[in-house]
């Protein structure tokens, strides 16, 4: 707004306008009405769509639709000593919109406010002032005046969004940064805009502009005080013209995105000659993924996926004529591939790991302990019971567990639906999830949120449930509390605090295995359309969707994504983003779109690189957005022995936890195994994936019993209900547990 314009309250309450702009140069913004504010209880309501696809904004659950989180008492419209006006202004704005019953009238009100918003000059309608996450283009300019008050100006290319901007500027212009930061996004959700066909995106506009106001307020105050909030995380910036790395860790990741063509050619030739397929996990070493991604263009039997899909792809490759499958992952992945191939009738197809040493997994190891078996023994004494085990466990664990308690496997993308369906088919079922403790806690929290939703909202997630059934489920849900993935364990308080301060306006992605603080942060972002919580594939799909939406808008945009999972995901993300940005449909577009992938790391693993000590590291400018040089990460690939980076040592070419080069899932190992196939000299015996010859306690094949929970999950995915065999196992438990 013009510097001479000051926002104040209208002298009398009105049903048509809440604020006006005073052009009076003698108006004293420090003399405002006295307000005594007290916080009142606000009922919470939550909503999210099936398979954690989407989170809706909270809806008032009070019988009084006009109730909000604030109430004002003893308010006078005459100047007094205090400046505590913001909560009451927000209360009046909430009351105003909630008092308008018809959506068309709410649109008219917003259009009325839109006409009152002074336009931003072209010099302020720049990329660095854009607000991420809004369907329309929104520009926000923030300054800190000499009285340490925040001054905001905003504009949009949408008339309705201009109305939103007017209201928000009217609320926050002229107040302290501390007051701006105190307001919660859920306070704005009570505004009940409810525009037909666009309620979700409209609520997102309110909340995302608020988040941008808060971030810029904190930055401006820190600059005024001569402080830095935090050092930024390393990142990769992808445009249609190339890739720019910020920080040594990002440089290490980017180095292999353009692999050595001779290595690609060598690999493709040996794969074609010997009919070898490759099933690799997303978390592979960047060098390996770079070569595999390039080789896919010349040999179709290469798949990079999450652990669920790896065995499925192996079967498809065997069906297409591949005689060998090489698995790049940890041991339970190669075990599953071997077992599923056998179940599918491909016993003659060889399956090979990438090391002659054991390739472990901290999470899978947690389930292969006496403590976990004791957890299941206790579950077996509380029939009817069902064990929902994470797919990322060994075949042996699945087999032993299934003989103690009927078991079905799950993934991070289907675990919620699996539990809901099981409880719908067997009322009073006791559910035991494991082994990931963080995922278990996050699932329990999700169901607590569901218990406060309406029956209609719950039915959208699962048609056979309502509030009563969810509340009945809660005491029947148990989870193991001593199992974690060492990668996702790193997203703790320090990383969350930094994300909240520096990246609160970015798109946040989080695996369902992350600790509770990171989970809550990502869920809050998800509720306003700025985040995703789920599997690695969910994260990849979310990023692709947001980039596609930006391409469809065809305006200059800088999209920033915080990668809340293992950094090996970046190769697949970058490849997908580059394909979208370089597609012929959009290659001729005039818009400049950049996509930044941010790698969260802790201070223990950060080097103290400076531009003076490393003159080759320079800031990068994209349009008018300047991306600063970022200190890199210690210990080469990014992990110090203290931990701190989201990089799995078991998946990479060397085990950095023990600083011993095991050449696990390296390109060298892949080429060695491939060149020595078929293994006529028996030199690869230690690399071959095990067929379990041992038996369970009941004398059955580990492979056969261990595959059964996986097949139960396959049935559920195909039919959306648990198989009758599993239901019978749950309901007819014998005295010895089965």
Which residues are identified as catalytic?
Answer: 134
Pick the closest to residue 517 from 534, 497, 535 (CA basis).
Answer: 497
Q: Which has the closest alpha carbon to 276: 685, 678, 688?
A: 678
In angstroms, the CA 177 to CA 700 distance is: 67
The DSSP line for 326-361 is EEES-HHHHHHHHHHHHHTT-TTSEEE-S-SS----
Half-sphere exposure of residue 140: CA atoms within 13 angstroms, side-chain side: 31
- Retrieve residue 26's tokens: 């003698």
Report helix, strand or coil for 59: coil
The verdict on whether omega for the bond into residue 384 sits within 30 degrees of 0, i.e. cis, is yes
Transcribe 147-209 into DSSP letters.
TSBEEEEEEESSHHHHHHHHHHHHHHTTSBHHHHHH--HHHHHTT----TTTHHHHHHHHHHH
Pairing type for strands 6-9 and 19-22 reads antiparallel
CA distance 415 to 421: 10
By C-alpha distance, which of 223, 20, 195 is closest to 106?
Answer: 195
User: In the numeric block, which tokens belong to residue 591?
Assistant: 């818009």
Convert 227-238 to b/e letters by CB count within 10 Å (16 or more is b): eeeebbbbbbbb
Number of separate helices (H) and strands (E) present in the chain: 27, 26
How far is CA 58 from each of CA 50, 95, 97, 453, 528, rounded to the nearest angstrom?
17, 16, 16, 9, 10
At which residue do the structure tokens 């300054």 appear? Answer: 143
DSSP H helical segments within 433-507, as ranges? 437-450, 455-461, 467-473, 493-502
- d(Cα 177, Cα 720) in Å, to the nearest integer? 50
Distance (Å, rounded) from C-alpha 147 to C-alpha 177?
Answer: 11
Listed residue (487, 488, 533, 489) closest to 507, CA to CA: 533
| DSSP character string of 561-583 | EEEES-TTHHHHHHHHHHHHHT-
């Amino acid at each position: 707004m013009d510097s001479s314009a000051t926002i104040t309250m209208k002298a009398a309450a009105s049903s048509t306008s809440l604020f006006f702009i005073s052009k009076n140069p003698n108006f004293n913004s420090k003399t405002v009405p006295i307000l005594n504010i007290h916080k009142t209880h606000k009922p919470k309501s939550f909503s999210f769509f099936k398979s954690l696809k989407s989170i809706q904004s909270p809806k008032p659950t009070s019988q009084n639709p006009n109730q909000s989180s604030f109430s004002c008492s003893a308010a006078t419209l005459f100047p007094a000593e205090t400046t505590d006006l913001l909560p009451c202004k927000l209360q009046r704005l909430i009351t105003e919109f909630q008092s308008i019953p018809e959506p068309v009238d709410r649109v008219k009100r917003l259009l009325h406010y839109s006409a009152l918003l002074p336009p931003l000059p072209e010099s302020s309608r720049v990329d660095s002032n854009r607000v991420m996450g809004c369907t329309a283009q929104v520009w926000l300019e923030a300054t800190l005046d000499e009285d340490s008050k925040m001054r905001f100006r905003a504009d949009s290319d949408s008339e309705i969004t201009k109305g939103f901007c007017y209201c928000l500027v009217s609320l926050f212009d002229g107040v302290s940064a501390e007051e701006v930061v105190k307001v919660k996004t859920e306070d704005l959700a009570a505004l009940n805009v409810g525009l037909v066909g666009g309620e979700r995106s409209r609520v997102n506009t309110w909340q995302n502009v608020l988040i941008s106001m808060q971030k810029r307020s904190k930055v401006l105050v820190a600059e005024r005080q001569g402080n830095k909030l935090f050092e930024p995380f390393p990142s990769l910036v992808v445009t249609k013209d190339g890739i720019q790395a910020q920080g040594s860790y990002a440089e290490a990741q980017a180095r292999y995105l353009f692999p050595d063509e001779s290595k690609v050619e060598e690999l493709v030739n040996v794969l074609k000659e010997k009919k070898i397929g490759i099933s690799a996990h997303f978390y592979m070493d960047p060098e390996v993924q770079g070569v595999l991604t390039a080789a896919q263009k010349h040999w179709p039997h290469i798949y990079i996926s999450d652990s669920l899909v790896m065995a499925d792809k192996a079967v498809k490759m065997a069906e297409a004529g591949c005689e060998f499958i090489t698995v790049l992952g940890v041991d339970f992945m190669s075990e599953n591939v071997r077992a599923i191939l056998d179940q599918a009738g491909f016993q003659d197809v060889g399956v090979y790991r990438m090391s002659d040493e054991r390739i472990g997994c901290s999470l899978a190891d947690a389930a292969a302990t006496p403590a976990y078996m004791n957890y299941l023994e206790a579950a077996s004494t509380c029939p009817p019971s069902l064990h929902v085990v994470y797919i990322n466990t060994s075949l042996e664990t699945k087999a032993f567990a299934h003989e103690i308690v009927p078991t079905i496997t799950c993934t991070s993308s289907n675990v919620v639906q699996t539990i809901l369906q099981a409880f719908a088919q067997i009322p009073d079922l006791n559910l035991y999830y494991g082994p990931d403790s963080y995922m278990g806690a996050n699932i329990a929290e999700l169901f607590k949120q569901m218990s406060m939703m309406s029956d209609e909202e719950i039915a959208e997630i699962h048609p056979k449930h309502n509030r009563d059934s969810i509340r009945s489920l809660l005491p029947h849900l148990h989870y193991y509390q001593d199992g974690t993935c060492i990668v996702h364990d790193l997203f703790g308080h320090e990383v969350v605090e930094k994300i909240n301060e520096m990246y609160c306006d970015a798109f946040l992605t989080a695996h369902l295995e992350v600790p509770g603080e990171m989970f809550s942060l990502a869920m809050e972002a998800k509720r306003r359309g700025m985040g995703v919580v789920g599997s690695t594939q969910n994260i990849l799909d979310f990023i692709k969707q947001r980039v596609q939406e930006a391409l469809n808008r065809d305006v200059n945009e800088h999209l920033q994504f915080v990668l809340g999972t293992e950094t090996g995901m970046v190769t697949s993300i970058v490849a997908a983003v580059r394909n979208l940005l370089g597609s012929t449909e959009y290659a001729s577009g005039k818009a400049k779109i950049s996509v930044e992938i941010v790698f969260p790391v802790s201070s223990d693993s950060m080097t103290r690189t400076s531009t003076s000590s490393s003159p080759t590291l320079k800031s990068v400018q994209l349009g008018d957005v300047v991306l600063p040089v970022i200190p890199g990460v210690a210990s080469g690939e990014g992990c110090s022995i203290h931990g701190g980076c989201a990089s799995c040592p078991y998946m990479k070419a060397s085990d950095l936890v023990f600083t011993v080069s095991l050449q696990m899932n390296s390109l060298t190992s892949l080429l060695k195994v491939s060149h020595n196939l078929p293994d006529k000299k028996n030199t690869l015996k230690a690399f071959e994936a095990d067929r379990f010859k041992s038996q369970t306690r009941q004398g059955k094949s580990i492979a056969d019993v261990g595959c059964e929970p996986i097949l139960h999950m396959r049935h559920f995915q195909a039919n959306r209900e648990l198989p009758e065999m599993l239901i019978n196992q749950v309901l007819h438990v014998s005295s010895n547990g089965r």
